[in-house]
Chain A
Amino acid sequence: MTGLLGILFTFGCATEYKLNLPDSFAVYNREKKAYRAITAGGVKVRSFQVKNDPKGSVEMWFSAIDIHLKSGGYQEVSSEDFTSPQNFDGRIAEYRYLYNGKDYTYLIAILIDQDKIYVIESGGLQKRVSPYKKEIISSIKDFSTGNTH
């Protein structure tokens, strides 16, 4: 684990994303709007933030995501609530999805910090994601941020 960091610039200040992904992930450093990382096998991780507007709970926002995904043919495999080291309420879920005739794994997590919602998603071919799944989930649960001016 190298502790790869993602940097997201918003409203004149930078939000530092701390997502400890395995060494197999390469991070797009020039990215300004979102944190993105990828493995050689095409497993992708993307993170971004949105305003918590209207102000809703993890339950509310995750239900909205779940309805959207399931209406698109996603099948929920599991879901879990967690609290991040910075005490953000979060939920992570795994979905199965058939894309171009192949099984894909899709992981989606949200964490709520009062006015902000941090969204982290990861996906790829099921067989490619499997070796990294535990580490991705673990890094999402340990997700933290720090603001720099």
Chain B
Amino acid sequence: MMNNIMKKVIITVFAAIFSFAGFCGAAKNEMEILRSVYHVGVYNTVNFTNETKVFTREQGGYVQYYSDDRIIIRLPVKHLTSFRNFIANKAYINDEQQVRENVGLKIINTKVTLQAKEKLLKDLFKVMGSSGFSHTVEIEKEISKVIIEIEKLKGRLRYLKDRMKNAEITLYLNEQAVQKSRDRVFSSEWGWIRELGVEQLINSF
């Protein structure tokens, strides 16, 4: 058992070294998670939500959640610009925020810890094979614990990689915001231009 403890210590030291090296590499690779939040005024929430669903699907993304006043989308990072253009064309963007989080260190740490745990699992199996009956139960408990930890780490890696590949976009929808925007109609210098438009056209007949 002492051998195992020594191995754990050595592995942890190596993990720390690799983490630092990984951090430097990560900075170069720009391992980032992108999050965008938009507050938009829309003409019709239902129509906008449907159009957004279709557009997102066409771009290889998916709608994670939607309600009357909110849509959460996961979209490949490469399509962020076209998505912003889509929103600008379909709605009024009242406010927008972009958040970038560098997850390079998190990924490297997770990978190194995962490798260490996998090594530990192999060693535990070896120890179990050569141990007596009295230690077997104890080692089995340890193996179960390590397997759970490995699965958690794999899940976390998958999660981080998916978050890097697909940006998260949250849209807060507000129908009233459109009305407010309309109330702020720019007043043209020329009277005849102020008389143009659907409402004026309809009322002139």
Contact = CB atoms under 8 A, between A and B. Distances in A.
B198 A106 contact: yes
A135 B189 CA distance: 32
B186 A123 contact: no
A101 B44 contact: yes
B89 A69 contact: no
Contacts of A46: 201, 204-205
B204 A36 contact: yes
A67 B188 contact: yes
B90 to A, nearest CB: 8
Contacts of B90: 75
Contact of A123 (B44, B178, B194, B202): B202
Chain A interface mostly helix, strand, loop or mixed? strand
Interface residues of A, number: 28
Nearest to A68: B188
Contacts of B89: 75
A50 B193 CA distance: 10
Contacts of A123: 198, 201-202
A97 B202 CA distance: 13
Nearest to A71: B186
A3 interface: no
Nearest to B181: A73
Interface string A32-75: 00101010000010101010000000000000110111011111
B148 interface: no
Given A44-B201, A98-B44, A123-B201, A108 B178 contact: no
A61 B90 CA distance: 25
29 contacts: A36-B204, A36-B205, A44-B202, A44-B205, A48-B192, A50-B192, A64-B188, A64-B190, A67-B188, A68-B188, A68-B194, A69-B197, A71-B184, A72-B185, A72-B197, A73-B181, A73-B182, A75-B90, A97-B197, A97-B198, A98-B44, A99-B198, A106-B198, A106-B201, A119-B192, A119-B196, A121-B196, A122-B201, A123-B198
Interface of A: 34, 36, 38, 44, 46, 48, 50, 64-65, 67-69, 71-75, 97-99, 101, 104, 106, 108, 119, 121-123
Interface of B: 43-44, 89-90, 178, 181-182, 184-186, 188-190, 192-194, 196-199, 201-202, 204-205
